[in-house]
């Protein structure tokens, strides 16, 4: 796992720590998780660049800064059970698994869920479960959750997700507001939902249903010359 270790340390220093994300546990996790294993081999040499990259099926792995920011906003202490909506490559889930007791990650594109699960198993991360499932409905079988992270943009706050959040827990989700997307952090306080923090962002849309294999989409948008300039997130149809 020493391959690209220097690139990872530089990525964390220049793209995460130097722009204000200082949680030592988040920085350590991002130094330890081999990001290059979560991108197509064709793009391994670009895994640590400050951009989103395609992972097939029209999906992307979010840029390192976005992963660091969203992870830090959950303020995980190590005892939490976390729901991730949008497994994608599995990279964000791998970071969460270093910081939480248990991670349940759901992905609507079944082949991506299979691939993410295989990569995470290869790394020996046993406290994360990846499931092909409609994330808009959350995952009631494992609820309630201490924290929920959604890596795609919704038109409004999905009620199923709030209902599966523990009292005092955080829910992080991008919401469309007019022509803008805002990354909101909600906290459940009894029957009330309080907005704690928001920043501008750009993510792909949160969609419903489960999508099976489609050979024509498997390598869609994967190109060594991809600019990484499109929306982030792991949940594009």
Residues designated as active site: 62
Q: Would you tell me how many other CB atoms lie within 10 Å of the CB of residue 213?
A: 12
Strands (E), the chain: 53-56, 59-61, 81-85, 102-107, 128-132, 145-150, 165-177, 180-189, 192-201
**CB-based contacts of 130, cutoff 8 Å, min separation 6:** 87, 90, 93, 105, 106, 107, 113, 116, 117, 120
CA-to-CA distance for 77 and 141, rounded, in angstroms? 23
Q: Give the other-Cβ count within 10 Å of 126's Cβ.
A: 10
């Amino acid at each position: 796992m020493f391959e690209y270790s220097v690139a990872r340390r530089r990525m964390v220093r220049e793209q995460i720590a130097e722009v204000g994300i200082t949680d030592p546990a988040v920085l350590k996790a991002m130094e330890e998780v081999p990001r290059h294993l979560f991108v197509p081999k064709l793009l391994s040499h670009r895994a640590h660049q400050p951009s989103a990259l395609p992972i097939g099926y029209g999906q992307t792995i979010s840029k390192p800064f976005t992963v660091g920011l969203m992870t830090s906003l959950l303020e995980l202490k190590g005892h939490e059970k976390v729901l991730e909506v949008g497994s994608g490559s599995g990279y964000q889930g791998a970071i969460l698994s270093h910081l939480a007791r248990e991670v349940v990650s759901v992905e609507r594109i079944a082949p991506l869920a299979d691939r993410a699960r295989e990569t995470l198993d290869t790394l020996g991360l046993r406290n994360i479960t990846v499931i092909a499932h409609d994330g808009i409905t959350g995952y009631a079988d494992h609820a309630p959750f201490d924290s929920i992270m959604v890596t795609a943009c919704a038109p409004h706050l999905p009620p199923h997700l709030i209902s599966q959040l523990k009292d005092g827990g955080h829910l992080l989700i991008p919401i469309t507001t007019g022509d803008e997307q805002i990354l909101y952090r909600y906290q459940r306080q009894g029957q009330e939902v309080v907005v704690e923090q928001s920043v501008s962002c750009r993510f792909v849309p949160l969609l419903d249903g489960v999508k099976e294999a489609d050979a024509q989409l498997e390598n869609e948008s994967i190109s060594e010359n991809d600019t990484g300039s499109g929306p982030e997130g792991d949940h594009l149809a």
